[in-house]
Amino acid sequence: MPLWIGAHDVVELLDEGALIGGIRSGFQEWVTTLPEPQRFHSALAGIPQTPNQAEVMILAPGALPSLPAFTVKVHAKYPTNPRQGRPGIQGVIHLLDAATGELLALVDSPPLTAHRTAAAGAVAADVLARPDARSAAIIGAGAQGEMQFAYLTRIRSIDRVWVYDLNPQAAQAYAVRRQAEGYRCEVASTVAEAVGDADIIVTATWSQTPFLTRSMVSAGAHITTLGPDSPGKVEIDADLLASGRVVCDDLALARAMGCLHPWPDRSFGAVTLTAVLRNEVSGRIDNRQCTIFGAVGLPFQDLVAAWQVFQSAQRLGLGQILP
């Protein structure tokens, strides 16, 4: 009988350290003989009562040779959700047996997606950021700004944080949470102020205009850009991409909808995180080089996280059995 694993159980069952290790292994294991990751987007414009920018998104198949299951994820993306307190992304991950197609579990997607995305950011930062990186700038004080910082602290000893958000109240609330955890966190009035002295920069926004430029960023900084995961979204300008070492989770998706999409005739010498982790290509060359991780998000990451949660739910007797 399949399980329903809700948001509360997802948070209880996830092991952040183990997830970072699993995502790292997944990138190293991921091979070209696997099915190409597919991301299907469809705008919901014209459907009565749907807000502006609402869309549906499907990710499939999440698969790795070492795991006996695969995933299909269905999301509703509502950047301007009219219901207060509801997330911008809602949906469910289907975990299925690879041998039989049997449904093993339905997993509440927003918390799982937030964790697996942050784990991928941590893997990239660990291999690309300077070993002595100690400060971070968070651009976008939403769910990913929160989760990325939590995972960053597992791979670097962060002692100073700047946060910027278009909503000053959200930035202030973010700073209060970090301060309560013992971090020195300041609210910046501009993006430039936030990133100027930061060793690691995370941008997690809905922006459709580049806002991070080469002149803003200090030498040797590492940047994770998460916003561009569908056509039209962009955070980093072409000059900054051209001046740094660009590493993507998937080059085809980066060109189709990610950080490379606005410049179809330029490659920026981009390589994959898989190639860097396998030591097939270089990542950071020296401590003055800027590194940029362009993350669209890959289906196998859903599988790694969902399989971990499912295994733990079975072992601990959590989750709700579905008829």
2: Cβ contacts below 8 Å, ≥ 6 apart: 102, 103, 104, 105, 106, 321, 322
> Measured between alpha carbons, how far is 33 from 108 in angstroms, rounded to an integer?
29
What are residue 135's DSSP bridge partners? 160
- Residue 44 banded pLDDT, cuts 50, 70, 90: confident
Averaged pLDDT for residues 163-183: 97
> Measured between alpha carbons, how far is 28 from 277 in angstroms, rounded to an integer?
6
The encoded tokens of residue 197 equal 């002295």
Domains of the chain: 3-112+300-321 (3.30.1780.10), 124-297 (3.40.50.720)
Chain-centre distance of CA 118, in angstroms?
5
How many H-runs (helices) and E-runs (strands) does the chain carry? Answer: 10, 17
Chain-centre distance of CA 185, in angstroms?
22
pLDDT by residue (tens digit) across 86-105?
767 899 999 999 999 999 99
Q: Could you tell me which of 113, 298, 124 has the C-alpha nearest to residue 202? A: 124
Q: Report which of residues 50 and 108 the model is more confident about.
A: 108
Burial of 13 (0-12, 13-18, 19+ CB in 10 A): buried
- Taking the model in full, what pTM does it have? 0.94
What does the pLDDT read at residue 82? 66
pLDDT by residue (tens digit) across 191-237?
999 999 999 999 999 899 999 999 999 999 999 999 998 888 999 99
